[in-house]
Structure 1
Amino acid sequence: MSASCIVTQPVIIDFDVFSLWLKGYTIDETVKHRLNREQGLANRSQARIDQKLIIADTLDCYRLFNVIEDKYLKNPSSLANQIMFDLPPDIQNKLIQEYYSFDKAFARELLGKKLSSRLRKDVDEIGEKARVLSRSCRRQLDNFRRVFKAVEDLDGSLPGNIQSQFLLSDKLTKLYVNVIFMASNKFETGKKRLQYITFDMFMGCCKEIIENWTLSFNKDGDIEIDKTFIQDLRDLKSVTNDNIEQHRTLLLAKLSGKVKEDSLLSIGSHFKAMMRATLNIATGLVHSKEWKDIYNNMVEKVIEILRHMRIDQEQSELILNAFSETAADVTLSKHLSNIYYRYLKVFGFCLIQLYP
């Protein structure tokens, strides 16, 4: 009786070439890039460049990447169990993390849009605006759609489901959760007045909303909006002018000695208008249009008031943190106080993120 076995050599992944492949470079563009790089090295060492070898190696790399993509990277959990390529676990992990990474400029253009196949027809235009090659844009869009479709009907924690299905890092998982949350809620992000808001600014707000205004507040990983809380926000209509005046007094006392006197006077004179605009946004969030327009309303109705106060970026963070913190000390019923603080904690943080 005889037995046979196959011994394979570990596959060498050239991650410099992989990076260019991910960026959407053609084979010719990658060869040109590699030749230019090798020429620079050769000039310093007086070595000769083997152009044919670089062309052949690039072709081999692209063939390898295409096979790994089609067979395994689109279903990362299968990569560890395959026997076609001898890939050490750390190399497998690096392939997955880099393949599912994305350009923030491109992702910014997707925020709030439905992750449907219809977006593919706009990829060239979006890519041009984001300065990302169309081939790379298609990969990134397909990845977002693949992750979304794989987890949208699963029970349990969204971050947990993404990690078990796609083996993404904690950091990358959180970004995918935020993008999916933005898409699911169809937040308006495309208006002209919102164009200054970067991907990272939106992500900061998203994180706070998910942690405090969704069912994650009581159940980790559930990003469904806490409808009871949103309904309860209507009760903020009963916040009186006396309550607002008390909040104003508390805020000014907390800021006394920490900001310039003229800034303190400006805050005091604009506080009532800012507070009323803030509460009007809160009571309107029960309506789907107002919910989708939350970022636009923050900028148009509240940040505009902050701009009139003529405070700088550093001062704005100090003031808005104090604005949120003092909300807990306003004399209200226990029910109303909890809603008031839970709302303003997130709202104040988002204002800090979005203040230009």
Structure 2
Amino acid sequence: MCLWVTPPLWMRKSISSGWMVTQVLATTFTNSHTHMTGPSIKKYLIDISNINLEFCFLSAPSSVNDAVKVRMEGGVLEECEASAEVLRSDTMDQYRTFQMCERLLHSPAKLANQLLFQIPPHRQAMLIERYYTFDGVFVREVLGKKLSKGTKKDLDDVSAKTGVTLKSCRRQFDNFKRVFKVVEELKGPLVENIRQHFLLSDKLARDYAAIVFFANNRFETGKKKLHYLTFQDFAFCAGQLISNWTVGALDNMVEDMDVDLEKEFLQDLKELKILITDKDLLDQHKSLVCTALRGKTKAFNEMEANFKNLSRGLVNIAAKLTNTKDVRDFFIDLVEKFIEPCRSDKWTAGDMRLYLTHYTNSAHILDTFKHQVVWDRYMGVIKSCILKMYHD
């Protein structure tokens, strides 16, 4: 007696699609009352890698029944001329196949070396990229939090708040934690380490680098005054900080991964306080900046009146970064001490760029100021971050 293996719906393709023919070996049973023995071969056109990612993990329905419903509403029955029973069987097949494939996706490099799934390289890249993709609204809720069991227990609330399914929230959180644990043992450039070990695109690797960087430094992102900022706002700022302020900014082969801010640089930032504690320097700096700005902006009067307060705000942020708590409050300090006062005076984005440019450059003309290198390293990042964060 011979039982034919029937591949699931997603494996069957028409000849016109141009997919290669693959042989499927049937399972053979020997019945003592018959003389039918031996394997039987039947040919199917299949693509083992054509998993429906949307319902396996992207939209992540909570059950097979929910997934079947989603697919039926999408018109798959009419498209494939299949019955509901066949669709349910196919959906279950896809879930099982994906569960086998998912273990390999936890270590993407293994995907290229395994023999279970014959997946073309371009399809492998797509599978990996989409598995590690994440929802902006979800990552915004967990950004800067410790990637711990305690945070994971709160994912029910995050799911309810964001509308992202709990299953998808857990997948994304586990991906964040997995990447963090792998790269924390590595030395060298963070983005490159993520790209090489998880085979992600440059853009996605940089986003994960931002997530790792925020988790490591525990930056505060959840306060109400920061709610207007998106994940991409923070990711941009993380890129600036990683490239300019970390231990790897000057030496790509340092023993630590470049998520830690360079302690020597943070100590040097204290020297900038002379710009606000030395009255002559403060007055001279104000004079140079206001001379450069006069006649170039409608907000000049406000800039002139608030110069000393704004300068104190930026310099004090720099001087306190040796304190772990003040590092965590970096973004809230930028908003409260600089962005909000400028916003209340109705500065435009152009006004902000003009002011920060002259504020930074004028320090080079100050006779007794001797910390230009540290100043430029600090203000280069501050200017970029503020310009990114200065929006509604």
TM range (shorter): 0.7 to 0.9
* CA drift at 1:255: 3.9
Q: Which residue of 2 aligns with 1:270?
A: 306
Q: Which residue of 2 aligns with 1:338?
A: 373
Larger deviation, residues 178-187 vs 340-349: 340-349
Q: 1:210 aligns with which of 219, 242, 251?
A: 242
Asked whether the 8 Å contact 2:183–2:194 carries over to 1, the reply is: yes
**CA distance in 2 between partners of 1:181 and 1:137 (Å):** 20
Q: Which residue of 1 aligns with 2:326?
A: 290
The 3 A distance-change label for structure 1 pair 223 and 255 is same
Provide Cα deviations, 1:203-261, integer angstroms capped at 9, x if missing partner: 1111111111112321237332111110011111222333334433443444455422x
**CA distance in 2 between partners of 1:75 and 1:10 (Å):** 25
The 3 A distance-change label for structure 1 pair 57 and 339 is same
Q: Which residue of 1 aligns with 2:344?
A: 308
Q: Which residue of 2 aligns with 1:31?
A: 68
Q: 2:193 aligns with which of 124, 147, 161?
A: 161
Larger deviation, residues 238-247 vs 205-214: 238-247
Q: Which residue of 2 aligns with 1:3?
A: none
Q: Which residue of 1 aligns with 2:385?
A: 350
2:264 aligned with 1:232: no
The 3 A distance-change label for structure 1 pair 137 and 150 is same
Query: What root-mean-square deviation, in Å, do the aligned CA atoms of Structure 1 and Structure 2 show?
Result: 2.4
Matches within 5 A, 1:50-199: 50-70=83-103, 72-199=104-231
Larger deviation, residues 314-323 vs 203-212: 314-323
Specify every segment of 5 or more residues in structure 1 that has no aligned partner in the other structure, as ranges.
Answer: 1-5
Per the normalisation by structure 1, the TM-score is: 0.88
The 3 A distance-change label for structure 1 pair 265 and 259 is same
**CA distance in 1 between partners of 2:297 and 2:326 (Å):** 34
Asked whether the 8 Å contact 2:188–2:248 carries over to 1, the reply is: no
Specify every segment of 5 or more residues in structure 2 that has no aligned partner in the other structure, as ranges.
Answer: 1-21, 25-44
The 3 A distance-change label for structure 1 pair 73 and 202 is same
The 3 A distance-change label for structure 1 pair 29 and 246 is farther
The 3 A distance-change label for structure 1 pair 229 and 69 is same
SS at 2:316's partner residue? helix
**CA distance in 1 between partners of 2:83 and 2:291 (Å):** 73
Largest Rg, 1 or 2: 2
Q: 2:281 aligns with which of 236, 239, 243?
A: 243
* CA drift at 1:304: 2.1
**CA distance in 1 between partners of 2:75 and 2:354 (Å):** 51
The 3 A distance-change label for structure 1 pair 112 and 133 is same
**CA distance in 1 between partners of 2:23 and 2:363 (Å):** 67
Asked whether the 8 Å contact 1:259–1:315 carries over to 2, the reply is: yes
* CA drift at 1:54: 2.3
The 3 A distance-change label for structure 1 pair 7 and 244 is farther
Asked whether the 8 Å contact 1:233–1:283 carries over to 2, the reply is: yes
> Could you tell me which amino acid in structure 1 is paired with residue 339 of structure 2?
I
Per the normalisation by structure 2, the TM-score is: 0.80
Asked whether the 8 Å contact 1:162–1:168 carries over to 2, the reply is: yes
Asked whether the 8 Å contact 1:327–1:344 carries over to 2, the reply is: no
The 3 A distance-change label for structure 1 pair 95 and 329 is farther
* CA drift at 1:115: 1.0
SS at 1:216's partner residue? coil
Asked whether the 8 Å contact 2:189–2:248 carries over to 1, the reply is: no
The alignment-based identity, stated in percent, is 37
Q: Which residue of 1 aligns with 2:233?
A: 201
> Could you tell me which amino acid in structure 2 is paired with residue 89 of structure 1?
P
The 3 A distance-change label for structure 1 pair 58 and 327 is farther
Tell me how many residue pairs correspond in the alignment. Answer: 342
> Could you tell me which amino acid in structure 2 is paired with residue 273 of structure 1?
N
**CA distance in 2 between partners of 1:223 and 1:161 (Å):** 12
